[in-house]
Structure 1
């Protein structure tokens, strides 16, 4: 296939598809009014003879709003005058049993619902990118750090699977929050419902909600406050996970010989204006700053909702709540770029492991596992080996076996144990200090050994596939519901022509 932009000879270019209308406040107010027209005219709350004229006026308002520069009011009180102008004052019969409170609560829920699906999609894509890196480096030994100090050898794939586990919890929280958000407030009016026998279940289905908010007071007074706070907490969790990974990569830029960096160029790095040797990690800096922005916005949701009586507008502002989601999506996009730009040098990582004593715990473990030596004795022996090596600038591969035997004898004497030879022969001693062997020989469920890595990589892939299915299913339900509403509304509209 040559290029998408090249026309086939002899064929006229296709007509440009009309862009889908933005699902903003104006869009959802239109959908609510369309659903009210259909439901109320069919259930006796609106004169069926008036419905076509009202539908035609409503359609004219929506078509005008969809044109470039068209008016797209975001409030009920600014939308309704346009509808009256287009269809006459009888159009306000649609307002039976409705209020700005339940209408705008529904608009907010629908918009946040769309936003969470976008966030879920980007979270899945970024996690998938991390999984691809983990698969490539399932057995690549690298240093891992605790308390900011090199601690033990690990595979880079296993390290990334740990981060993927955190992102999976973020995805779980997102799905749980979505289920609480995905309920229709329509028909609850202001506080305690209405005397009009509105069909709330049918309204919910037309707007793509699987069910309705149960308690009328909760709908616009309580849920509208705490649900944005929950979304802010999810966004904060994502930012914390992103920041932790970014900080780990960032520390390498302070090293003279890093084992992992960003690929240069493409906006990933930039040259210092004064120091020719520097390659500043601009992408890491941008992503870290974006993570801080997300935390600020996410925690701001709780501050905005704090210490106010139910129903106040402070925490309900759609733009503020959508900004949290948009900022988190932008962060995940930057993080995805980082994952694609990472360049890992396995030889340099192994060199760093072999230049330090990150494998020394394995010596103590082998002495206890194979020779039943108390762990603290083995630990003290290994610690003394490390002290001697660092005092004399000896690398693990160069440590004299005779010196290890001497230190072992001193350790037994110091701990008042009977004299004995170091039970590990020289080959065992060297093998215990091999970072790659340590990774291969781990026996812990959830460890970096090949069998467990294969299992965890498969499980992570399965979870991502399920997450993709979850997103597609919910998006399809909303799209199908709105298509059904358009079909039923179109039949009424057709009678006006």
Structure 2
């Protein structure tokens, strides 16, 4: 095997080639500039593989000890920056083998027996993502905590609920904030479901056909924190479902954050004025001194595009690829690295923004009944009087039309006008024409009344505690 070419660069292939690759090919092939972050996971896999080789009688105890010590030393050197990839290293695997050869000489070359970069990188990426998925979960929980704490303070704060960005019906602002927590809980559930499917070890599949050496893929899988070895060696090296699915989850998280961001932009606008951001989580203008901009919320909207784009890029790359490994699959890593880094930046900023924002209770309460938002209360009141809802809807619509023409509120209509509109309307309808009565009447589970919101709050807090325990679990051995 050609371990090093004439320039001294380590290469993991080349025995049948008369010379080195053209510069254009080398520049196109190199991936170490982004896959170097897999180095700690590659070293974890290498330790497990060394033990399996020893178990198969392919390394004696002394050789195993020397290799494990060298891998530990290389790991420390990578962590401190003492060992770094060079421009000649094609990928993370090449760089680390160079480091091992520098420490062990030809003994370092024994570690490659029974594995290929194909099963190696698939294993590394699963380890990386299973590790970092929990980091994303921790940050999601922090944002959910911030929303939940604000919701707890605003259970009794009335707000004008919107449909089509038009005033619809009064709601509790705490209920509104908790509505943004629910998709985050679903995101956490998706991450855990994903983790169960990603917990399969490809190591031992080789390039595509497995190995003729007496290896033990089950032992490797157990040591690396996986549930089982891959059942099919060809699928193991070809499968990138775990990448695409992870990117779907992060893209959907991005969509949820974008929707939250858009609402914060609205809430903080002069037209709404429902929320004021803390100075530490807002920015100003280089020309307009009065400006206070919700940049974090706007960046949440903007970054959803790159999260969605990463998913589309990987799905497009995978479409039509023949089994098993193809070099196209080098394009699977940058989108997931970018998704992880994007969420690691964005989620703490959003959590801080939400935790420190000031809710303008007075403005929300004043806006809650505006726009005839209590009209549905009148229709429901009529239904309780025995009026079919179709008729109740028409009667209430006529009442709204009268108020709109006179530029008055529902409660301002005289008793005589009520009777003119419908014989079913009488002065007792005014009992339902307050925001407080509208909220108090919502008693069914999941609705916006004080009781259901308090119940929802308790349930959300319990679920977040459950997710907190899962998110801090360590599944990747160190």
Asked if these proteins are the same fold (TM beyond 0.5), I'd say yes
Q: How does 1:118-197 map to 2 (within 5 A)?
A: 118-197=135-214
1 CA distance for matches of 2:186 and 2:431?
37
Structure 1 residue 365 displacement after superposition: 0.6
Contact 2:100 2:108 in 1 (8 A): yes
Q: Indicate whether 1:334 and 2:349 are aligned.
A: yes
Correspondence for 1:71: 84
Is contact 1:270–1:282 with CA below 8 Å preserved after alignment?
Answer: no
**TM-aligned CA distance change 1:167 to 1:41, over 3 Å:** same
Contact kept? 1:99, 1:189, Cα under 8 Å: yes
Q: Is residue 321 from structure 1 mapped to residue 336 from structure 2 by the alignment? A: yes
Contact 1:268 1:341 in 2 (8 A): no
- CA–CA distance in structure 1, aligned partners of residues 148 and 50 of structure 2: 48
Bigger shift: residues 349-358 or 293-302: 293-302
| Kept after mapping to 1: 8 A contact 2:281/2:353 | no
2:224 matches 1:210: no
Deviations 1:246-270 (A, max 9, x none): 22232345544x2422325224142
Counterpart for residue 288 of structure 1: 301
2:456 matches 1:456: yes
Paired residue secondary structure (1:297): helix
Equivalent residue runs for 1:438-477 within 5 Å:
438-473=438-473, 475=474, 477=475
C-alpha distance in 1 between matches for 2:431 and 2:447: 19
> TM-score normalised to the size of structure 2?
0.85
Q: Give the match's secondary structure for 1:50.
A: helix
Q: Deviation of residue 58 (structure 1)?
A: 3.4
TM-score of the two chains, using structure 1 as the length reference:
0.82
Measured in 2, the distance between the counterparts of 1:61 and 1:255 equals: 57
Q: 1:247 to 1:82 in 2, by over 3 A?
A: closer
| 1:34-433 matches, cutoff 5 A | 34-72=47-85, 74-221=91-238, 223=239, 225-256=240-271, 258-271=272-285, 273-274=287-288, 276-310=289-323, 311-316=325-330, 317-369=332-384, 371-408=385-422, 421-422=423-424, 424=426, 426=427, 428-433=428-433
d(CA) in 2 for partners of 1:397, 1:268: 40
Structure 1 gaps, min length 5: 1-21, 409-420, 483-497
Give the Cα–Cα distance (whole angstroms) in 1 for the partners of residues 472 and 318 of structure 2.
Answer: 32
Deviations 1:375-419 (Å, cap 9, x if unpaired)?
A: 1211111111111111111023423232222111xxxxxxxxxxx
Change (3 A) 1:449 1:97: same
Describe the SS at the equivalent of 2:168: strand
The SS at the match of 1:219 is helix
- Give the Cα–Cα distance (whole angstroms) in 2 for the partners of residues 78 and 353 of structure 1: 63
- In structure 1, how many angstroms separate the alpha carbons of the residues matched to 2:67 and 2:187? 45
Residue correspondences, number: 438
Distance 1:353 1:30 in 2: 59
Shift of 1:271: 4.4
In 1: Cα distance, 2:62 partner to 2:293 partner: 70
Could you tell which deviates more after superposition, 381-390 or 394-403? 394-403
Q: In the TM superposition, what is the alpha-carbon distance from 1:194 to its structure 2 partner?
A: 0.8
Shift of 1:283: 2.8
Cα RMSD for the two superposed structures:
2.3
Q: Do the aligned partners of 1:37 and 1:55 also contact (CA within 8 Å) in 2? A: yes
> Per-residue deviation at 1:132?
1.1
Moved more, 342-351 or 49-58: 49-58
| Aligned partner of residue 29 in structure 1, secondary structure | helix
- Report the Cα offset of residue 441 of structure 1: 0.9
Q: 1:346, CA displacement in angstroms?
A: 2.0
